[in-house]
Amino acid sequence: MSYLRAVMAANDHSPRVLALTAEIIDMNPAHYTVWGYRFRTLMSLDTAGQLGTDAVAWTWSRELDWVQSIARNHEKNYQIWHHRQLIVDHLADSTGERARTEEMFALDSKNYHVWTYRQWLVRRFALFDEEELALTTKMLGEDIRNNSAWNHRFFVVFGALPDGQKPAEEVVEREIEFAKKAIQLTPQNPSPWSYIKAVLRKGNVGLATLQSFCEQFSPVSSPDDIKSSHALDVLSEIYDEAGDAAKAEKALELLASKFDPVRKNYWRYRRRQLGSNSPVVSATA
């Protein structure tokens, strides 16, 4: 550590810094200045034309391999992904990067840092494409409750739309069907429920269009057949919008007393708010 401080104080960016910083990162990847120092050293060697020469047997591609090996051992570290992002941004080349993030998803399919990096990659290289959509389909096929994959799907489908522009109707329709299939398989899975509500809003489709779909999981008049608290939640909104206060109250009371009692205070708060539709704290945009 004191050697590193001496090197930093002198702004020494010679090749030996690569070995020194690698050793420190290996010990403590959360060291918050060593990564930046290493990046600047690599840039300085690159500018001088020294990377990949006899003098410096190190290249950007070896650096990316090395970073991946560190990432595998320190899944919770975010500086690693920041470093990777700086390099790939500098190289302006995303080749192989999707495969590398997928290798990390095999270890933890919900790693927040890896998803953040993946979204940066998609934005930076405009990869809102079929391959990206297929990744989410595949990952949801492996784990239909993977909320990170649901979130990424929304990002891929709608993330490239300019502000205020409506998505194509057939895309909205396709995504509604995709979420409905997931709900059919796992009616008590919160992820596709959040997703379908968001798709409806994005496509400007009324929530009421879900009424019969929800009622097949949670018929308010037949509590013994109820399979989904989320369906009851959505139905309470649909009934409220339609002015059917009695049914909306029934749905919320079923949630409070029987189907989601841990949130009974919340469901009863929602019940008191029926008919008002006014948010507690309003926002200015």
Kindly state the tokens that stand for 114.
């890896």
Vertex 185, ends 179 and 191: CA angle to 5°?
Answer: 45
Closest to other proteins by CB, 51 vs 146, is 146
Q: How far is the CB of 34 from other proteins (least distance, A)?
A: 9
Closest to other proteins by CB, 51 vs 152, is 152
Exposure of 173 in the CB half-sphere (CA atoms within 13 A): 3
Q: How far is the CB of 261 from other proteins (least distance, A)?
A: 5
| CA 178 – CA 169 distance, rounded (Å) | 14
Kindly state the tokens that stand for 214.
């929800």
Closest to other proteins by CB, 55 vs 201, is 201
Closest to other proteins by CB, 66 vs 78, is 78
Q: Which amino acid is at 25?
A: I
Q: How far is the CB of 53 from other proteins (least distance, A)?
A: 25
- Residue 55: helix, strand or coil by DSSP? coil
| CA 273 – CA 62 distance, rounded (Å) | 59
Q: How far is the CB of 265 from other proteins (least distance, A)?
A: 5
Closest to other proteins by CB, 96 vs 159, is 159
* CB contact at 8 A, 167 and 203: yes
The closest of 104, 103, 84 to 42, measured between CA atoms, is 84
DSSP codes joined into one string, 118-177: HHHHHHHTT--SHHHHHHHHHHHHH-TT-HHHHHHHHHHHHTTSPTTPPPPHHHHHHHHH
Exposure of 129 in the CB half-sphere (CA atoms within 13 A): 7
Q: How far is the CB of 226 from other proteins (least distance, A)?
A: 9
Kindly state the tokens that stand for 285.
């945009």
Q: How far is the CB of 4 from other proteins (least distance, A)?
A: 9
Q: How far is the CB of 57 from other proteins (least distance, A)?
A: 26
Q: How far is the CB of 103 from other proteins (least distance, A)?
A: 13
- Residue 16: helix, strand or coil by DSSP? helix
SS3 content of the chain, % helix, strand, coil (to 5): 70, 0, 30
